[in-house]
Amino acid sequence: MDMSQHSSLDLSFDLVLYDIDGTLVDTGGAGMFAIMTAAERYFGAPSPSLDLAGSTDLGIVKNLLDHYEHTADLIDVEEFFGIYHPLLEQSLRSEQYAGKILPCVEQCLQFDQQRGSAIGLLTGNTAQGAAIKMRHFGLDHHFGFGAYGDDHADRNRLGPVAQSRATHHTGREYSATRTLVIGDTPKDIACAHAMGARCLAVATGHFSFEQLRDHGADFVVNDLSEWLAMIS
Ligand SMILES: [Mg+2]
């Protein structure tokens, strides 16, 4: 996308909703290891390979059920996540996985705050998984609310949840047209558009700039340093 075409657009948003994996941080494989190990322990059989990009954790559990041919009422979701969350905490701390905060994340969060935008999470992680990851990377103080992958299995239903939690948290109303969703996958783009918001797609996950552009993101950048340059 030619960024110059946006030069006359208002790029300030009242509500900015951030995805976690591939957008704020890269866990270096720690998240994948934790969920696959949790699946192996819970179901007692090797985990299938999982497509985590943009998926909700509840959606991943449903895929696991299909794989292991369990029916939905045969899994105790809380028990499953009770295995997964400590594994996630351990694997993030493990030297085996070189996790990192992605470029310019903290500067973007500071910029949003200075500008008075409300900042929240819109992620496929469970609320607890999100809290574990944000604490691990020292980003937790930025986020007072969010919508999570244990609110709905369908990511497209998470936008309105985030919006109403933003209102509950700040006491202000937020229109979808003044909301920006920032994510790294086509599912983030679909989720933003399902709620009527704009999507900034960042090519810091597994999808290229071109793929994200072709999926209809309103703005695409190689990483958040480019976005910061556009908005500041
Ligand atoms: Mg992501």
What is the mean pLDDT for each group of 10 consecutive residues in the chain (232 residues)? Answer: 53 95 96 92 87 85 82 75 96 94 97 95 97 97 96 94 97 96 97 97 97 97 96 88
pLDDT for 219 equals 97
Measure the CA angle with vertex 120, ends 16 and 152; round to 5°: 110
Kindly give the distance from the C-alpha atom of residue 23 to the centroid of ligand 1, in angstroms, as a whole number: 6
Supply the DSSP string of 175-203, one letter for each residue. Answer: -GGGEEEEESSHHHHHHHHHTT-EEEEET
Kindly give the distance from the C-alpha atom of residue 118 to the centroid of ligand 1, in angstroms, as a whole number: 20
pLDDT for 157 equals 96
Kindly give the distance from the C-alpha atom of residue 59 to the centroid of ligand 1, in angstroms, as a whole number: 14
Kindly give the distance from the C-alpha atom of residue 212 to the centroid of ligand 1, in angstroms, as a whole number: 12
**Sign, CA torsion 22/32/152/186:** positive
169, 163 in Cβ contact below 8 A?
Answer: no
Kindly give the distance from the C-alpha atom of residue 106 to the centroid of ligand 1, in angstroms, as a whole number: 17
Which one-letter amino acid corresponds to residue 18?
Y
Which one-letter amino acid corresponds to residue 215?
H
Whole-model pTM: value is: 0.92
Exposed, middle or buried, 76 (CB in 10 Å: 0-12/13-18/19+)? exposed
Biggest distance spanned by C-alpha atoms of the chain: 56
Kindly give the distance from the C-alpha atom of residue 45 to the centroid of ligand 1, in angstroms, as a whole number: 27
Q: Could you tell me which of 81, 89, 80 has the C-alpha nearest to residue 27?
A: 89
pLDDT for 134 equals 98
Kindly give the distance from the C-alpha atom of residue 18 to the centroid of ligand 1, in angstroms, as a whole number: 9
Q: Could you tell me which of 76, 52, 54, 73 has the C-alpha nearest to residue 63?
A: 52
208, 228 in Cβ contact below 8 A?
Answer: no
103, 204 in Cβ contact below 8 A?
Answer: yes
Kindly give the distance from the C-alpha atom of residue 7 to the centroid of ligand 1, in angstroms, as a whole number: 27
53, 185 in Cβ contact below 8 A?
Answer: yes
Which one-letter amino acid corresponds to residue 56?
T
The two three-digit tokens of residue 209, written as one number = 């700039």
Measure the CA angle with vertex 105, ends 154 and 146; round to 5°: 35
Kindly give the distance from the C-alpha atom of residue 200 to the centroid of ligand 1, in angstroms, as a whole number: 12
Residues 177 and 167: their CA atoms lie apart, in Å, by 15
